Amino acid sequence: MVLSALSLVLVIAAGAGVGLVLRDRGSTAPPDPAPTGAAGKSQASSAPSGKEQDANTVVVTDEEITALLKAHGAALTSGDAKAFTSIFDQENTTLVRDQARLFANLRKMPLSQMSYETLFRNGRTEDNFGRGVTFTQDVAFVHRFTGIDLKPVSEWYRWTIEKASADAPLVVTKVGGAPPSIRGGEGSKTVYYPGPWDIWPDVAVVKAGSSIVLARPEEAALARRIAPALAQATSTDLDFWRRHGPPDAAVPIGFVVALAKGQSQLGNLFRKEKAHEAGVSIPMPSWGAGGDIRIGGSRIVLDTASSFFADTAGIKEVSQHEIAHSLVASLDSAEFSLFGKPNWIVEGFADYVATRHQRVAQVRRYQEGRAYLAGRLGRPFDGRLPDNVFWDDKNLINAHYFMGNLAMRFIAEKYGERKVAEGVAAAYKAKGGDGEAALFEALGVRKAEFEREWAAFVRRQLA
């Protein structure tokens, strides 16, 4: 699903997970904030550079923090494990061990860019009586997967840092995920944390055409088996877009796919929230202000315990669905909208791309569609497109996905597949958040006329 995006000081809140649901309700992700790339403002006191200090004063300067992060990033880039782990509390063997594992995992990733940047600081960073200080520093791990991410993206950490005395070094005593600057209701408690590299003991990196698959050691063999299906899903979706999508649209040529087993794991990769999907695509805002690409990359997570993994056809379908989301994520205008883009467009397009070569009766949600048309799901079919308010209705969620799919099939039948891509692109690019109006304008039709003809199409398909 897609939620709203909020503009903040030094923060652009954008991005939401879009997933494939085959259970009783959908899943949403929060409006995760993405930094502008500038150093975050401290919310604690710190002395300006060059200020005279009393000999007893313990103070942490912005320059110290910047130097710490710069050296940490340089250690990762150069492959210096000792320097990378040296900033952590050496008496905390568990912390040092975990960070050594993180270093080893990150060194396996095909990253063309890696750095650590300052975000927000909280706590006491100065003491005039010679006592040590402890504070938290939010840190952005800025990175870019080679040949996949259109722009660098960031994962947010929260470090607890101590400085024991005036001449003591900064020591990181705790590492976790940083929360969004603004968060309400359901949604991730962290900003694109944890990555597989943070929590897995080891990461298998498997090529799948122009995409890559990340898997736990116990699922490495599975990753290798399904790599051809993922490669084909990538190729099929990209071919569809090259033939029908806007020629000037910046789209990835590959995708990062992580495998999770069960919905508990699914909700604990690149986010921390309760998951309900069989798979999810999580768009990540670009690091840095300006530019015309707001979403620099996305992360796809697939649940290997879902019914889609029962056979190769299912793996291709769920992969194509999530890849379709990631394919168009970079088109997102990131404009504010209370309810986000219409789910019937977002999910309907992804489901259509994944199933367009199947007959309507072969689509997984076909029976739910027939039950909806027959009035057996609580609310009768009224000939209107599903709205976002009732999209997650536990009785109707599968039927809503199917109605979105049929809307795209209707567009393809009447206007052609190029208009499917053109309309969806217009919906994603729409300023002011009115993606539905943008799609109908691209088709050259009024909503009332579209719904009337679409409803007749639905009845014919499900008769």
Q: Which residue has the higher pLDDT, 277 or 54?
A: 277
Residue bearing tokens 């499917």: 420
- Mean pLDDT value across residues 367-379: 94
pLDDT of 7 reads 27
3 state SS of 315: helix
Radius of gyration of the chain (CA): 24
Contact 439, 423 (CB under 8 A): yes
The whole-angstrom separation of Cα 330 and Cα 294 is 7
Closest C-alpha among 354, 280, 98, 331 to residue 201? 98
pLDDT of 56 reads 79
Q: What digits encode the pLDDT tens for the residues 397-406?
A: 999 999 999 9
Residue bearing tokens 């309900």: 276
Q: What digits encode the pLDDT tens for the residues 113-126?
A: 999 999 999 999 99
Instruction: Give me the chain's average pLDDT, please.
Output: 88
- Mean pLDDT value across residues 451-462: 97
Q: Which residues contact 445 (CB under 8 A, 6 or more apart)?
A: none
Contact 14, 353 (CB under 8 A): no
What is the b/e burial string over 380-389, where b = at least 16 CB atoms within 10 angstroms of the residue's CB?
Answer: ebeeebbebe
pLDDT of 49 reads 44
Tokens matching residue 38: 């500038």
Residues 194/199/200/204 CA torsion (nearest 10 deg):
30
Q: Which residues contact 326 (CB under 8 A, 6 or more apart)?
A: 252, 255, 281, 283, 298, 300
- Mean pLDDT value across residues 94-116: 98
pLDDT of 280 reads 97
Tell me the pLDDT band of 51, cut-offs 50, 70 and 90: very low
Run of H or E residues at 323: helix 312-329
* pLDDT of 374 strictly over 60: yes
* pLDDT of 237 strictly over 60: yes
Contact 178, 188 (CB under 8 A): no
Strand partners, 114: 143
Instruction: State phi, psi for 208 to the nearest 5 degrees.
Output: -135, 80
- Mean pLDDT value across residues 309-327: 97
Tell me the pLDDT band of 184, cut-offs 50, 70 and 90: low
Tell me the pLDDT band of 301, cut-offs 50, 70 and 90: very high
> If you write DSSP's letter for every residue of 391-443 in order, what string do you get?
TT-TTTHHHHHHHHHHHHHHHHHHH-HHHHHHHHHHHHH-GGG-HHHHHHHHH
Contact 81, 103 (CB under 8 A): yes
Distance spanning both ends of the chain, measured CA to CA: 29
Maximum mean pLDDT: which of 265-274, 286-295, 431-440 = 265-274
- Mean pLDDT value across residues 227-252: 95
Length of the chain counted residue by residue: 463
Angle between helices 343-355 and 397-415 (to 10 degrees): 70
